[in-house]
Amino acid sequence: MLNKYPLWKNLIILVAVVIGFIYALPNLFPDDYAVQITGARSSTEVNSAVLERAVKALESDGIEVKSSTLEDRDALIRLTSSDDQLRARPAVQAALGRDYLVALNMAPSTPAWLKSLGAGPMKLGLDLRGGVHFLLEVDMDTAVGQRLEAVSGQIKRELREERIRYRGGDVKGTRDIILSFRDEASRTEAFNLIKRQYNEFLLDEKTVGDEFQIVLTLSEAEVSAIRKYALEQNLTTIRNRVNELGVAEPLVQQQGADRIIVELPGVQDTAQAKRVLGATANLEFRMEARQDAPASETEQFSFRNERQRTARLERDTIATGNNVANAQQAFDENGQPQVSITMDSIGGDLMNRATRNAIGRRMAVLFIEFRTETETRMVDGEPVEVDKRVVEKGIISLATVQSALGSSFRITGLDSIPEASELALLLRAGALAAPMYFVQERTIGPSLGQKNIDAGMMSVALGFILVLLYMLVYYRGFGVVANIALTINLMLLIACMSILSATLTLPGIAGIVLTVGMAVDANVLIFERIKEELKSGVSPQLAINAGYSRAFVSIFDANITTLLVAIILFAMGSGPVKGFAVTLCIGILTSMFSGLMVSRSIVNMVYGGRRVEKLSIGGKLANV
């Protein structure tokens, strides 16, 4: 029958609309301002007593508590405003002490029955929710230098094992290792050994005075590979550290060849975020130097907790924090903090080889930290603050090797429980392949995020209302149909973004506004085609059928080209451009569904299967 959908097609549309309604509904329940309490170490329990102390501290400071709950290993306290949230953190931290971490967060208020269906609100980006934005730069030169130092130490160990005598081996510049020998025979033997195992280096033989040298030059391909690995490893490590922080919907992505963007929505404590994210804490395990060791093969270091105490260590590194598979904060028999470490297979093998012939000698754990300090310099007579990169190395443990070590052992000599907890966290999350430095920091307060949300929602509402009024005035009854379809389109757009866990940003709101404006295009094309058919004397039923059938090609062509552009924007763009492209892509698909199927279904229900004399579609049309 003309202009009648079969039952199955109407049911599909009905199911889509019902699902869209359910999954769009959580967005009507805004997030609550909250503070989250977690233990500073894995063994610290957050229980009801801890939560009660925190709530009492807030109440004594006149801060209204909306609700408080225990969730897994954390506690969550919901508050009524952003001002209360900012006041709550120091109050709770003072009440609980350093054994607990207190972070600002936003807590969803979705009803339990919606959660049971897997429904949740759209994720809000940094510009809408507030939080911190960091731009970090990876020190690629140090990454290459660390690789050269590691290879230099490994080659010298192999030369000693093969009983090939050498005078010295040093890293020169940014790409070279120079090994010196007493005679040409030793150099030739070493050259053949190195050539077999180190294909990433270009080898050259030189004679300088009475020294016979081998120069190892790192190839361009290997330098590029080291740089790529450093960036990828740092990205992975930063993501792991962000997960340890428990931040919801973080953004960690590469920018250019040596930079990383980190955005933490809902986080206002920049000090803690910088300390954990930017800490390039790493470990090196080295043997204490023998009394007769040449000065060129040793280094002098101070102890971290006793600066006046020093020790001389071998330059060769046994293993590093990169070989750590797991790390947990614990306590020794005297109640002092320590970190229990489990090495990976490579690290365990290196540790065993180094210690099985060193029983009775002392092995040091060297803590290395790269950080940025701000200092004031005079430039053209004016004081200017500039960032200075500092490398700090200190011994945290120097213990006698009692027996050959394997994959598991302990690090002692730590100052405090928080230090042990943070060191375990950093090692567990993974060591950075190269140090990183903060080159940009920006904080967006939750109040500014709320202003962005309010302005964005106002623009969507205003555009939506104006389109509804225009369609109603110009197309009369068919305008009502178009408005219902437009409302369903907006609901489906929000539902799809919620289901796909797409992050809504300010440019994304712009995409919604554009989608609202574009969503009526399909109906306008269809309705104008119907009016043309009516003017030519076609019956209303045939005019409706022709309007939807013949306008389809034009609607499809117009939307598919826009969709292709949106896909290109998503693939080639970054940050705000991606947010706009995601919203536009989803909006185009929901617009075509609502404009072609939902609108047609409503018209069919009103006019289909009966005799129609006149259509309420606006304009002066003759009765049929």
| Res. 414: pLDDT tops 70 | no
Which residue, chain included where needed, has tokens 């924090």?
A: 321
Same domain, 189 and 304: no
Identify the three-state secondary structure at position 310: strand
Please check whether residue 94 lies inside any domain of the structure.
yes
* CATH code, domain carrying 470: 1.20.1640.10
Which residue, chain included where needed, has tokens 């443990």?
A: 397
Please check whether residue 59 lies inside any domain of the structure.
yes
Same domain, 390 and 503: no
* Cα separations in angstroms, 487 against 273, 352, 368, 455, 516: 41, 68, 59, 20, 9
Please check whether residue 113 lies inside any domain of the structure.
no
Angle at 154 between CA 149 and CA 156, to 5 degrees: 95
Angle at which helix 140-161 crosses helix 184-197, to 10 degrees, equals 120
Name the β-bridge partners of 103: 36
**Rounded to an integer, what distance in angstroms lies between the CA atom of residue 152 and that of residue 171?**
7
Q: How far is CA 298 from the centre of its chain?
A: 40
What domain range includes position 347?
Answer: 280-429
**Full-model pTM:** 0.60
Neighbours of 333 (CB within 10 A): 5
| Res. 5: pLDDT tops 80 | yes
Do 283 and 293 touch, CB atoms closer than 8 A? no
**Rounded to an integer, what distance in angstroms lies between the CA atom of residue 460 and that of residue 475?**
22
Same domain, 488 and 532: yes
Please check whether residue 118 lies inside any domain of the structure.
no
- Looking at residue 107, its pLDDT comes to 79
Beta strands in 225-296 (DSSP E): 251-255, 259-265, 282-287
Same domain, 359 and 218: no
Those residues with Cβ within 8 angstroms of residue 396's Cβ, 6 or more apart along the chain or in another chain: 303, 304, 305, 365, 366, 367, 411, 413, 414
Same domain, 373 and 471: no
Higher local confidence (pLDDT), 295 or 280: 295
Please check whether residue 176 lies inside any domain of the structure.
yes
Beta strands in 401-539 (DSSP E): 408-411, 436-444, 503-504
The enclosing H or E element of 237 equals helix 220-245
Same domain, 457 and 423: no
- Looking at residue 622, its pLDDT comes to 39
Same domain, 48 and 82: yes
What one-letter code names the amino acid at 412? T
Do 511 and 497 touch, CB atoms closer than 8 A? no
- Looking at residue 578, its pLDDT comes to 79
Please check whether residue 236 lies inside any domain of the structure.
no
Q: Is the dihedral of CA 328, 334, 336, 338 positive or negative?
A: negative
Q: Among 402, 429, 456, which residue terminates a domain?
A: 429
- Looking at residue 553, its pLDDT comes to 84
| pLDDT confidence bin for 246, thresholds 50/70/90 | low
Beta strands in 26-175 (DSSP E): 32-39, 65-71, 74-79, 100-107, 123-124, 131-138, 168-172
Same domain, 85 and 184: no
Determine how β-strand 211-218 pairs with β-strand 176-181: antiparallel
Please check whether residue 264 lies inside any domain of the structure.
no
**Rounded to an integer, what distance in angstroms lies between the CA atom of residue 557 and that of residue 519?**
15
What one-letter code names the amino acid at 394? G
Angle at 478 between CA 476 and CA 482, to 5 degrees: 115
Q: Among 85, 107, 129, which residue terminates a domain?
A: 107
Mean of per-residue pLDDT scores for the chain: 82
* CATH code, domain carrying 345: 3.30.1360.200
Same domain, 16 and 46: no
Top-confidence range, 256-260, 383-387, 399-403: 256-260
Same domain, 179 and 62: no
Please check whether residue 241 lies inside any domain of the structure.
no
* CATH code, domain carrying 79: 3.30.70.260
Q: Among 59, 89, 107, which residue terminates a domain?
A: 107
Do 104 and 399 touch, CB atoms closer than 8 A? no
Angle at which helix 599-607 crosses helix 446-499, to 10 degrees, equals 60
Determine how β-strand 123-124 pairs with β-strand 503-504: parallel
- Looking at residue 569, its pLDDT comes to 86
| pLDDT confidence bin for 624, thresholds 50/70/90 | very low
Those residues with Cβ within 8 angstroms of residue 579's Cβ, 6 or more apart along the chain or in another chain: 125, 503, 504, 505, 506, 507, 508, 511
Question: Which of the 8 DSSP states describes residue 420?
Answer: H
* CATH code, domain carrying 208: 3.30.70
Same domain, 41 and 20: no
Reported as a single tens digit per residue, the pLDDT across 439-468 is: 887 776 655 566 777 787 788 888 888 888
| Res. 42: pLDDT tops 60 | no
Number of domains in the chain: 4
* Cα separations in angstroms, 219 against 195, 200, 202: 14, 6, 6
| Res. 287: pLDDT tops 70 | yes
**Rounded to an integer, what distance in angstroms lies between the CA atom of residue 213 and that of residue 30?**
70
| pLDDT confidence bin for 372, thresholds 50/70/90 | low
Identify the three-state secondary structure at position 479: helix
Question: Which of the 8 DSSP states describes residue 613?
Answer: S
Same domain, 503 and 455: yes
